[in-house]
Structure formats: C-alpha cells, structure tokens
Amino acid sequence: MPKKYHIDVQPVANRFPVIGRSGIIDWGEGCLKCAKCVKTECVYGVYKNRSFSTSIMSDTIDEFCKSCFRCVQGCPKRLIHKTINPEWEALGDKLYRPEIISITWEQAATGKIPVSGAGYGGKFSGSGFDSMWTDMSEIVRPTRDGIHGREYISTVVDLGRRLSKLEFDSNGNLLSHVPPSVRIPLPIVFDVFPFGDLSLNVWSAVTSAASKLGTLVFMPYEVAINFPEQSTSIVPLLSAEKAAIYDLGGFKIIELVDGYESGESIAVAKKRYPDVLVSVRMEAKSSPESIRRMLEYNSLKADIIHYVADEGGYEPGVDQGLHIKDVIKEINVGLLKEGLRDQVTVIVSGGIAMAEHVTKAMLCGANLVGVDIPLLIALECRVCRNCRDGLSCPVSISGINPNWGTQRIINLIGAWHNQLLEMMGAMGIREARRLRGERGRVMFMEDLENDTFAQLFSDRIS
Amino acid sequence: MDYRNIWNEIPKPKVERTPSRFGRALGKYTVRVLDSCTDCLKCVAICPQNVFEAKGNRLAPPLDQLCLGPECAKKPNRCVRNCPVDAIRVGANPSSRALGDFRWTPDLLMSVWHMAETGKLPANDLEYRIGASDGGFDKLRLRFPKNPPIPDLDKSKIDTSIPLNKKGDGRFDIVIPIPVYGGGMSFGSISQITMLSRIRAFAAWGSFTCTGEGGYPEALYPFDNHIITQVATGLFGVREETIQRVKIVEFKYAQGAKPGLGGHLLGPKVTEAVARIRETVPGSSLFSPFPFHSVYSVEDHKKHIDWIKAINPNALVSVKVSTPSDVDMVAVGSYYAGAHIVHLDGSYGGTGAAPDVAKKNIAMPIEYAIPKVHNFLVNEGVRDSITLIASGGIRTAFDIVKAIALGADGVVTGTAELVALECVRCHNCESGRGCARGIATTDLELVGLMELGWGTQRIINMLSCWRDQLREILYRLGLRSIRELVGKTEVLAHLDYSQSIPDDDIRSSLV
C-alpha cells in the first residue's frame, strides 16, 4: 500500500514580534497597591511572564494576553484597559484582512490547523469566496474521523492533457500516444509573487519547500536557472522567443505568457522537448474573447491553462470585474459545453488567501490552485507593499535564512492541507480530483438568497 | 438557620438582582469618580439609573454598567454638573471595542449582561436586538403595525408556550411555557455548575436542557424531568438507564458549528472527572466519530429511533442535524422515521472547540435553513405533525421571533446562557485549562469562580426578560399566542429589499 502523504510540520518561531489584535493599557496613576493585585491572579500568567524585548523594543505581554477581561474588571480603580491595536487594524488590504494575516502567521509558526472555541464570530458572508459555503452530506459519507481518521483521503492531482479514449490494435497494443503528465500530492502550487522583498534566499526557501512537499513553484526563467538540482520542482516562466531557443532540459513543465506568438510556440516547445508540459499563463477574464483564446490554446494542445486574477482575486484591469470564483465557473462551463473539459488542466491563481479558497476554487471548476502572497505572509510579510514603492521591508524578508523560510512555508501548507482534508471529509469526497467543478457540494449565497429571502421579500412594497 | 440544598431544588422563575461576580461590571460607558470626592452623596439622589450608591456614609464605586452615558450626564440636572467638587467624569468605556466579535458585539454582550443582572432591558443606547454580522438575522427587522391591532389585549395572558409533541401518538404531551430550551453542552466542555445553572433556570421556567454528549452526571438526577439525554456519536454515558430517566431523548447527528465532524474535547480539558464519566483516559483528546457508524441510510435512522422508543415507551425523540443543502430531505426523512422534533443547528452556532475552517464554511446559516425546511414540510403536508426547532446563533428575543416567523416552532440556545454567565467571547474555551472565567472548564480552581445560585439566577433573569420581550412583540403584532407567529413572514422586513423600515425598538415599556 502506498505511503500516506504526510507533511512534517515543526514549530518555527517568528523573527519579529507578532502584531497582535489587542493590547493592554495599564495606568499607573491612582493605583491603590492592593495587597492582592488582580495582576497576580491572571490565569495565563501574562503579567508574570511578560518581558521587554530590546531587539524589537516591545513588551511581550500583548502576545500572551487572551482577552479574558478579568483584570480589567477586577482592578478596583479601573486602571487596566484593553484596546484594539491600531497597527493591527492597519495591516493588509481588502482581501488580506488583519484576521487573515494573523491566522496565516500562526499557521506558519505552528503548522497547526486553527481551532478555537465558541461559534464563528465573523460576518455572515462577504464578497468573493466569502459568499460560498461548502456542503456536508448528512447521511451518505465515507467512514471518517476528521483529520485524525484512518480513512484515506487523497489530495493528489494530475497536470497534463488527457485523452478521452484509448485506441488499441488487434493485438491489444496501445496505439494512442499518451500525453505526458505530472502528478503532485496536493492541489496547491506556488505561483510568482506579485511583489515582495525578494532575494535568492527567498527563492531558495520557496523552492526547497516546493521540493520537499512534492509540488511545483512557478518563477521567472532567470531565477529558475539558479536552482539546477531542483529543476523538476520548478516551472520557469518564458516569453515565446525564449521558449524557442533556451535550454529547457531538466524542467517537467514550462509556462508561456499569453501573447501574440504563444500559440505557435506551444508546438515549437513540444517539438524540442516532447515530454515537457506546456502551460499558458492568461489573465483570468470571463470575456467571450478570453474564452475563445482559451479554447484556441486547447486546440493547440496546451497542457495547462493558468488563469491569474489580480491580487485581490478579481478580473485584472476590468472595472467592477468578476471575482475569480465566477470567472472559473464561466471557464469551466465554457469547456464543458464544448465537451473538452477533461482535455486540459486549469490552474487558478490570484486571490487565494486562505485554505478554504483552495477547496472553493476547485469546486467552482479549477483542477488546482496557485498560491502566492500567503507564502510571503508565512515569511512574516505584512502586505504593506513598501517593497513595491521602493521602500525597505519592515521584516527584511530578503535576509531570511532559507531553512527557516522553508519550514515556515511547509508549516503553512501543512495546516492548509489538513483544512482541505477537513472540508473534503465533511463533503464526503475522498479524491481531490473529484472536487473539480462539483457544484452540487457548494452553496452560493446568491442562490440561497434567491430561494429564500428573495421569495419572501422581493415583491414587497416597502 | 434553614439549610436549603439548592442542588436538588428547582427555583422559582422570579427575577432577582444578580450583579457581576468579577469586580466591576463592564458597561458601554465608564463613570469615574476622582479622588477629590467629598462623599456628599448628592449624585446618589440625582442619578435616574441609580449608578451611584452609598455604602455607609461613603460613596461606593459607581455601577457604570447602568449609566445612560454622556447624553444624560451633560444635562444640567444630572451628576456631572451637580457635583460640588466636579469629581465626576462620564465617557465611553475604552475597553468595550476589544470585546466580543461581529456576531456578539460589545453592545449585545452588555445587553445580555444587563438582562442577566436585572431581568430588564438596558435603558441606555446599547443595541440589544442585533449584532454586526451584516446578514441573516442582523438584516431582518420586525414590522410592527402603527398601532397595536388589539389594544386591550392583556399582555400577561399572551401565550408564549409551544407543544413539543404534535404527533398525537400517546407519548408525553409536553408543552413548554417559553419557546426555548437549552442546547446540549457536555460535561467536560463546561463545568457541572454551568450545566446545573442552565438546567435549574430552564426548569424554573418549565422548560428543558440537553445533557450534551458528555454523559449524565449524577448531579443532574434531581432534574430528570427537565433534562434531554443526548445520544451522540461518542455514545458517552448512553445506557438504557439514562434513556429511561428522561422525557425527551435527542439524537445528535451533527452539530452546526462543525458539520461532518464529531465532538472535540482537547486533552487538557479531559480532566479526571471527565475521563471517569466518559470512561476514557485523562489528558487524552477526544474526537467523536462521524457519522453514527450504525446509520448509513434513512432506514438505519428509523431503526435508531425505534430503538430509543422501545427502551423508553413515553419519551419524545428529537433529531438534531446540521444544515446541508439537502436539509429539507433530512427533515422529512426524520419525520417519516418517527421523530417528534426536528432540530436544525445552523452553521453559525456555538461550540466548545472546532476548526475555524468548519465554523465559517460548512453548511448553511440557520436563516436559510428554516424557511427551506418549513416550506418543504408544508408542501409535504406534514408540517403540523412535527415540531421544528432552530438553533445556531440565536442570541436575543428578536432572533427568537425572527426564527419563528421564518417557520420554526421554537428555538434552542446555548451561547446566550453562557453570555448571561459573563462569557466575553474570547474564543479560548477549547485550550489549556479552558475558560478563564470559569464557565467552559472543569478545572477545579476555575470552576470555583462561579456559584450555583448565582449562575441559576442570572439565566432565570435573562429568560424572564426574553419572555417579557416576546409578549411585548406579540402584543404589538396583535397576536395572542406565539404559535400564531410560526411562518408569519409578513412581520419581517429585510434591509436588502426594503428602502426604509421603521425602528423596531420595544423598550418603552420594558426597562
């Protein structure tokens, strides 16, 4: 029996103090110096264990405090308060909210799937992936005990073209030429970073992580050639001209950017290297023109179509564009209508910010997803984008020890993988390949609204 | 001295002032009395909310959770302007922003604390009806007619009771006086004192509380007639005897907060007492299986129900399920399998411990599930023969009304009672010693933070205020009984579909 896929996580400390959500404010003035100060009774011992770190000029108490408010209530002179940390509130952007950044840091540090008490405290729904819920099959499910179970859930996906039929000769010999394919143990690849204080250290960390996890990392060709021993884990990005002449030996997959000549260069690349898969990188748009181009690439035998949304997960350059989830649905249906869906692999990147987005993107129709910014967050990025403005990185990502970075990324992906297993287990799906386009296992808020509240309220005269 | 053993006693459903057990209660506003105070006690006489009290001939620390805020304080005849030494300061409580979350906002937490302390709604501007989740119940509003349709309707005679057995099959004809009962929270996830506080409070109001998955502690025996035994996938404490002692047995197929997963109790919370009752090993995490490994079809489900019915010939059977897209099929299947109660647990419900990815993403919110199931059962022609109970994020009397108007017969709550016991929604229930405030823990030191009489009274007060609010709402809607409200969606308005909805505040008669 094949060995069960397992990701080795280990606790890896941050280099910088965590920017926490809430801080303690502790007035001294008016203190009664009570015989039994409430601070000595802290269940978590935060006052006892607090320290001042001179390396980062900050008090560690805010990291330990769990906001139980007992000291706030207990001090008879009301001298202790809790505040929301303004630095925390300012983190990130519309997609990478402070809560998401915090939880990504935590997963990168511990490798553990986030578990907490009490019910969900977030918003009812939201934009993008937040307006989707995954389903649970109440009665028809495999025997399963969550991520601790004995039952095997496979997260393997295959990249490459597929034949819709096989042809044999009269002696039973296979006549069909089976296209090359690459199998990876989980449906997540690492995509090119849209920004970042990057250096060879960072690329080395990401590449080692990809290699250890058995997955792939996409990077510019110029960077890829720095890692010849790991070339089978790397997908170099190339322009059409370069693909025609550069040495591509050692790579299993290459990626061409969608452009004027990329159609022809697919055939050129395949002629030079028959066993290499060719991926075409396209902007994730649902326009008829985009769908037409995609179908054209498919007919030119591109193995993979890689759709990339903007950093927020929306159609790049489109005013009030669709979210990637809706783009994937269109593309998936576009291919299904032509009876071509199985022929080509669809990867989706851009806007994949949380583990649940992996599952949701696949349920909308992707074969697998590419993740970019969360990997940087694993390296303590705060999504401030200073690097893009030519300013220095507050957490000096370029200077990381690659081994540290590798384990942080492995931790994050390990935690994501476990969350993928949780969601698949609840759905009753044992094969990640089955997630692709499985719209019956997902509930879109628009549909639930239409079925319920719209029926009740839309004909009302207010 | 008369010794009353409250551990055996069901108290009266009477409101009694029960202040916070932690120093000073948290309120929306903070009232500070500077050291220049001369204890003249003028403020004691002036404050309309009795924020100031005398202790002997000195001023006691102000009860700022009752304060109406700067709008009142700045008035010329109120505390700030009338202090002869200008020693009073009234302002917003800086700590309140850090409390709670979008579903249980600081205002909602403080409103429940106020109700649990006084049995009344807060008089200040605390938002007591909705949270800030920007959807679901928080976007629904109640539409009251301009004038009460039946002006001389006696509020005290408005019927808030609901029947739990609508099958007419000869089993217990249970009618609960309020349309709520306590959801299952296991011994182990919470302490015995928390359990008994809930049980005694609901019993005082003639209702029920479920044991949760963790077994049936002996301390519950005096309250057998008000307890629902839960048969969950862990099967902890499920024996013929615990099924026979009660009037209602609940099958927990799934829990809304983590559908597809069984109960979670992490190692440090499996204390000696918990391990003993669950017959496991202290310190070893418990993850209950999913699903019932004896139920893989609706026929198996009927077999399950028949099993309970055979062991207890009079008890009612409730089936607790989560809210997948086929929840209506599950509900009708349960009906035909012989259940008396179908209990839908929505995705935003509470839990002692669950993976965040499950809490947020799996299954649908209860607001969608209720009308789906209600309408399906109506079309099937069986709606009147089964009791539909909804849970999963029911926080306030307004949520109760909205849930019933959408089609439920009644509701189950859980987190609301914990908030009454002063939960702050810090979400740390599951780890280490458990709840630092002594609610969701069996750690002996932490459990000692709560006294049984205190806990019981806090929940009795909150239920009393809920009952008063339900009566007020029904009065304003011109309904004589809550049963008339089931499925009456005309009383609801939704912010996304209506331009302007009048304010549905009912406080004028209830503070």
- Look at residue B298 in the predicted model and tell me its pLDDT: 86
Which of A22, A138, A354 to probe by mutation at the B interface, max B CB count within 10 Å?
A138
Chain B residues near residue A113 by CB distance under 8 angstroms: 355, 357
Closest by Cβ to A123, choosing from B135, B436, B492: B135
Q: Where are the beta strands (DSSP E) in A313-385?
A: 345-349, 368-371
Report residue B264 as tokens. Answer: 């979670």
- Is B301 near chain A, with CB under 8 Å? yes
pLDDT in the model for residue B295: 84
Q: Verify whether the Cβ–Cβ distance A67 to B426 is below 8 Å.
A: yes
Q: For residue A157, report the phi and psi dihedrals to the nearest 5 degrees.
A: -135, 155
- Is the per-residue pLDDT at B502 higher than 70? yes
Q: Test B428 with A66 for CB contact under 8 angstroms.
A: yes
* CB B370 within 8 Å of CB B323: no
What part of B 425-444 touches A (C-beta under 8 Å)?
425-431, 433, 435-437, 440
**B276 in contact with chain A, both atoms CB, cutoff 8 A:** no
pLDDT at A93: 95
- Per-residue confidence (pLDDT) for residue A138, from 0 to 100: 65
Write out chain A residues lying below 8 Å of B444, CB-based. none
Q: Which residues of A touch B322 (CB under 8 A)?
A: 136, 138
Q: What confidence score (pLDDT) does residue A161 get?
A: 94
Q: Cα separations (Å) of B8 from A145, A417, B11, B132?
A: 39, 50, 10, 40
At B384, the amino acid letter reads D
- pLDDT at position A462: 46
Structure confidence at residue B246 (pLDDT): 97
Residue range B355-363: average pLDDT? 93
Closest alpha carbon within chain B to A139: B296
* A6 strand-pairing partners: none
Check: CB of residue A235 under 8 Å from CB of residue A218: yes
Q: Do B356 and A116 touch (CB under 8 A)?
A: yes
- Is residue A393 within 8 Å of A386, Cβ to Cβ? yes
Mind listing the pLDDT tens digit for each residue in B330-349?
999 999 999 999 999 999 99
- In chain B, the residue whose alpha carbon lies closest to the alpha carbon of A134 is B362
State whether residue A32 sits within 8 Å of chain B by CB: no
Among the listed residues B98, B107, B35, the one whose alpha carbon sits nearest the alpha carbon of residue B69: B107
**Cross-chain Cβ contact B134/A123 below 8 Å:** yes
Q: First and final CA of chain A: distance in angstroms?
A: 64
pLDDT at A91: 95
CB of A458 less than 8 A from some CB of B? yes
Q: Which residue on chain A is closest to B350 by alpha carbon?
A: A119
Cβ(A184)–Cβ(A214) under 8 Å? Answer: yes
Q: What pLDDT score does B3 carry?
A: 74
Structure tokens given for A181: 């394919």
Nearest CA in chain B to A31: B35
DSSP class per residue in A38-102: GGGG-TT-HHHH--EETTTTEETHHHH-----HHHHH-TT--EEEEE-HHHHTSS-SSS-HHHHH
Alpha-carbon gap: B3 to the closest alpha carbon of chain A (Å): 31
Q: CA-to-CA distance for B479 and B150, rounded, in angstroms?
A: 8
Residues 128-157 of A with CB under 8 A from B: 132-141, 143-146, 148
Q: Would you call B153 helix, strand, or coil by DSSP?
A: coil
Residue A218, min C-alpha distance to chain B (Å): 27
Distance from CA of A385 to the nearest CA of B (A): 27
Average pLDDT rounded to a whole number, residues B400-408 = 98
Q: Do B30 and A72 touch (CB under 8 A)?
A: no
**Which of B101, B287, B324 minimises the CB distance to A148?**
B287
Give this prediction's pTM. Answer: 0.95
Q: Which residues of B touch A100 (CB under 8 A)?
A: none
* Contact status of A67 with chain B (Cβ, < 8 Å): yes
Complex ipTM tops 0.85: yes
Q: Which residue has the higher pLDDT, B264 or A411?
A: A411
Average pLDDT over residues B243-270: 92
Mean pLDDT to the nearest integer, B262-288: 91
Q: If contacts are CB pairs under 8 Å, which of residues 209-248 in chain A contact chain B?
A: none
Q: Please report the number of interchain residue pairs, chain A to chain B, with beta-carbon separation below 8 angstroms.
A: 261
B355/A419 CB distance under 8 A: yes
Query: Given phi > 0 = left and psi -120 to 50 = alpha, else beta, which region is B396?
Result: beta
For residue B231, the model assigns a pLDDT of 95
Each residue's pLDDT expressed in tens, for chain A with a length of 462 residues: 667 899 999 999 999 988 989 888 888 888 889 998 999 999 888 888 888 777 666 677 777 889 999 999 999 888 899 999 999 999 999 999 999 999 999 999 999 999 999 999 999 999 999 999 999 876 555 545 545 555 688 999 999 999 889 999 999 999 999 999 999 999 999 999 999 999 999 999 999 999 999 999 999 999 999 999 999 999 999 988 888 889 998 999 999 998 878 888 999 999 999 999 999 999 999 999 999 999 999 999 999 999 999 999 999 999 999 999 999 999 999 999 999 999 999 999 999 999 999 999 999 999 999 999 999 999 999 999 999 999 999 999 999 999 999 999 999 999 999 999 989 988 888 899 999 999 988 999 999 999 999 999 887 654
pLDDT at B286 over 50: yes
